[in-house]
Structure 1
């Protein structure tokens, strides 16, 4: 069967990589303002030439961008870039494109404003609603954070598991959509300072312990403290990095 043909798998992999490249390139251009609502969107044939891609790859990429709210395709009008308020800013790719287009401190500031609005409330709900299985998942994530090396990605994966487990324990499906915001924030933090999660282990532990004893007020306060301290730490690191650049 074709599915078992190594050549077929290789060609499929190349096509997926090219598709991802087209989506990444066009998405970043839109978010940076290089392609805007008042500008004509590149023609399909021109994009095929630019990227060395087939029409099917370009069409798939256009659909992917439309699914993220960046563009829309209409009969007679064609493809047009949408205003930023249409963009799905909870999508991980869109978040990363925004990060690449904005001063890091501005992006990180926006991110933490939202996290401070959402995560303390989630921790409060988790303390009231969590099950034995859910508190065990939070405990396991914290244990993995404690064991993780500060130089590899195991720490950031455990950190993300910790925060996502709290969102799950809140028993609010809408809060789960905030997971991408947290994931992008942690990834950026790891790139800037690989030891950031180690520095704040005691603050994570305070959140976990408050949720474990079902103290909603203490859980919310501990999460607020964790986020405020983390933001200040990362802001100082980003400032130090910016002053070192020529």
Structure 2
């Protein structure tokens, strides 16, 4: 049992190292052969084969005869997988990706907020308020800020009661991590970010579904505008 646990931990570590190399474009379009990778990571070929098979299952790699193990475009990665979500958001965000992030949030979060207003029980609402107060007390310069923001949005999505939305919470958290680094780089936006979050929370507390949905849309629109300001037309940002 202990040996099996140790091997699974080693596989996870190798997967993480491979993904880091992929998102940092260390390998180019095709991974080195398995025996080369095994030596690089100082693991057995069995461990390396298992790690590669896990990435294959997540649609991150593609094995082709006479070519080898090709790295698939990030758009093909199985984003519903929480590990894949976290790995994808490690890569430097590009304008098209950030656009997709905003569009995803606009599809999920406003409806989740409306449903939370309709379906949340007393415990859900207390949890959302508690997460908001924590979020409000932690400034954007604090290392704990990102986790506080993610917790607030996650609790709203969970309170929607929709199983599919709940499964998407990992992507919502990743979307926040990708966009916040641009939005909160502008110190002047914090008060407005806080006010817009408060509007969503207060609408949920009043069980006002229409207002909760509108407030969530307004919050995401604001994020989109700030991202647009941070990234010029050429797609580069400071």
TM-score range relative to shorter protein: 0.7 to 0.9
Kindly indicate whether residue 24 of structure 2 is the aligned counterpart of residue 34 of structure 1: no
**C-alpha displacement of 1:242:** 3.1
Aligned in 2, Cα 1:239/1:96: closer, same or farther, shift over 3 Å?
farther
Q: TM-score, normalised by structure 2?
A: 0.78
Kept in 2: contact 1:119–1:223 (CA 8 A): yes
Aligned in 2, Cα 1:143/1:69: closer, same or farther, shift over 3 Å?
same
Aligned-partner Cα distance in 2 for 1:156–1:145: 9
Aligned in 2, Cα 1:17/1:243: closer, same or farther, shift over 3 Å?
closer
Aligned in 2, Cα 1:97/1:222: closer, same or farther, shift over 3 Å?
same
| Count of residues paired in the alignment | 229
Q: TM-score, normalised by structure 1?
A: 0.76
Aligned in 2, Cα 1:130/1:96: closer, same or farther, shift over 3 Å?
closer
Matched with 1:213 is: 206
Matches within 5 A, 1:130-209: 130-192=120-182, 193-194=184-185, 199-209=192-202
Aligned in 2, Cα 1:105/1:198: closer, same or farther, shift over 3 Å?
farther
**C-alpha displacement of 1:13:** 7.7
Aligned-partner Cα distance in 1 for 2:178–2:55: 23
Kept in 2: contact 1:19–1:57 (CA 8 A): no
Aligned in 2, Cα 1:231/1:34: closer, same or farther, shift over 3 Å?
same
Matched with 1:24 is: 20
**C-alpha displacement of 1:122:** 0.7
**C-alpha displacement of 1:186:** 1.8
RMSD: 3.6
1:136-188 CA distance string (max 9 Å, x none): 11101110111002212322111111111111111111101221222122222
**Higher alpha-carbon deviation: 48-57 or 191-200:** 191-200
198, 210, 215: which one aligns with 1:222:
215
| Unpaired segments ≥5 residues, structure 2 | none
Aligned in 2, Cα 1:17/1:170: closer, same or farther, shift over 3 Å?
same
Kept in 1: contact 2:139–2:145 (CA 8 A): yes
Helix, strand or coil for the counterpart of 1:242?
Answer: coil
